[in-house]
Amino acid sequence: DFGKPDYQAHAEEFEMLAKSAGAEVVATVVAKRDKPDAAHFIGSGKLEEAVLLAESSDVDIILFDQPLSPAQQRNIERAFKLRVVDRVALILDIFALRAKSHEGKLQVELAQLQHLMTRLTRMWTHLERQRGGIGMRGPGEAQLEMDKRMIGDKVKVLRERLSKVERQRTTQRRSRARGGVMSVSLVGYTNAGKSTLFNALTRAGAYAADQLFATLDTTTRRIWIEDAGQVVVSDTVGFIRDLPTTLIAAFKATLEETVQADLLLHVIDASSAQRDEQILEVNKVLEEIGAKDIPCILVYNKIDAAGYEPKIERNEEGRIVRVFVSALDRTGLDGLRGAIAEAKEKIGNNVANLKN
């Protein structure tokens, strides 16, 4: 983990990620380096320490909190004599477990195949360079080419299916826009409490769990708010630090709902020590998906655990910028509904225009 301020917090977050994938964490090794090692990513001293620890604690699998090159992964596997899963593969795995909708499943499968394909290609060039192609020609090469072609075909089919689903969704969105209904998207760091807040606002039973990425697919529901009327609320996939860029691309369709929203509720775990870092991380992703100019209210959630009272904070122009709530205790929700109504009044007349 490089150039990052809080190794311990990141290690804890990674443990949560591992648990979300169904792993039981036996031991954690934190390595601090300025520059990754080409062969093993971590230094030989740390590697040795980790190997000894793994041998003494009956470990089945090694999870690595960094994207590894195929060569690094193989070298580390050799050192441990165990299967190694890097951060990208782990996150993909969790996404695969969580995807519920047809579209979500297609997106995950596409991202997994793309990840696999880059590995096949790189593995091939790596071996070719190392061994001058000897022993890699003939059936081995043909098999590899066939694998690549089969995956390529599958990727094409998935892309076509996805764009069909996306077209359908755009049509649905347009018809909603014509009705002049305001759309609100919940965004935020994973585990901030988006699903819980979504449930509290819509009184529905969306899945909430103390796991990362409990929400993978965008869930949308129509609610009625006094002084605001009909509002469409969407719960989105949780953002996370260093989300692999390949995943950001693959999940753009999911996040598209966010880009189209009239108002963002940026849900924050007010009780987290990493709160400010997480806010920055989410803002970074919002910028990447082209959503940074959408009006946004910061919702400081979990005030019951953070020791705040429900309240509303305005900026100098009188616009509401922060609302303090507890989605769990359902406190401060009237204030939040009022904030949504006020925001609708401000953007209200532009809703139809914004959509087109």
Q: Indicate whether 182 belongs to the interface with ligand GDP (CB under 6 A).
A: no
Answer for which of 160, 210, 309, 316 binds ligand GDP (CB under 6 A) is: 210
Which segment (107-115, 129-137, 167-175, 208-216) binds ligand GDP by CB under 6 A? 208-216
215: contact with ligand GDP by CB under 6 A: yes
Q: Residue 214, interface with ligand GDP (CB under 6 A)?
A: yes
Which x/- pattern, by CB under 6 A, does the window 183-202 give for ligand GDP?
Answer: -----x-xxxxxxx------
- Residue 107 to residue 68: CA distance in whole angstroms: 22
- Give the nearer residue to ligand GDP in terms of CB position, either 47 or 214: 214
Examine residue 326 and tell whether it contacts ligand GDP (CB under 6 A): yes
Residue 90 amino acid letter? L
Min dist. Cβ of residue 336 to ligand GDP (A)? 12
Q: Does 208 help bind ligand GDP (rule: CB under 6 A)? A: yes
- CA 225, 231, 237, 242 torsion-angle sign: negative
Interface residue with ligand GDP, options 302, 320, 337, 342 (CB under 6 A)? 302
Q: Which is nearer to ligand GDP, 108 or 192 (CB)?
A: 192
Question: Which listed residue (11, 279, 328, 333) binds ligand GDP by CB under 6 A?
Answer: 328
Count interface residues toward ligand GDP (CB under 6 A).
Answer: 21
Least distance in angstroms from the C-beta of 27 to ligand GDP: 25
Nearer to ligand GDP (CB atom), residue 128 or residue 329: 329
Residue 296 in contact with ligand GDP, rule: CB under 6 A: no
> From the CB of 54, what's the least distance to ligand GDP, in Å?
30
For residues 196 and 328, the answer to whether their CB atoms sit within 8 Å is yes
Does residue number 273 form part of the binding site for ligand GDP (CB under 6 A)?
no
| Stretch 29-48 residues interacting with ligand GDP (CB under 6 A) | none
- In the complex, the smallest distance separating the C-beta of residue 274 from ligand GDP, rounded to whole angstroms, is 14
The verdict on 272 binding ligand GDP (CB under 6 A) reads: no
Chain centre to alpha carbon of residue 127? 33
The two structure tokens encoding residue 135: 């022993």
Q: Does 332 bind ligand GDP (CB under 6 A)?
A: no
Closer residue to ligand GDP in complex, CB, 191/220: 191
Q: Does 304 bind ligand GDP (CB under 6 A)?
A: yes
Query: Is 39 in contact with 75 (CB distance < 8 Å)?
Result: yes
Smallest gap from Cβ 194 to ligand GDP, in A, equals 3
Cβ(275)–Cβ(226) below 8 Å: no
C-beta of 189: minimal distance to ligand GDP in Å? 7
Where do contacts with ligand GDP occur on this chain (CB under 6 A)? 188, 190-196, 208-210, 214-215, 238, 301-302, 304-305, 326-328
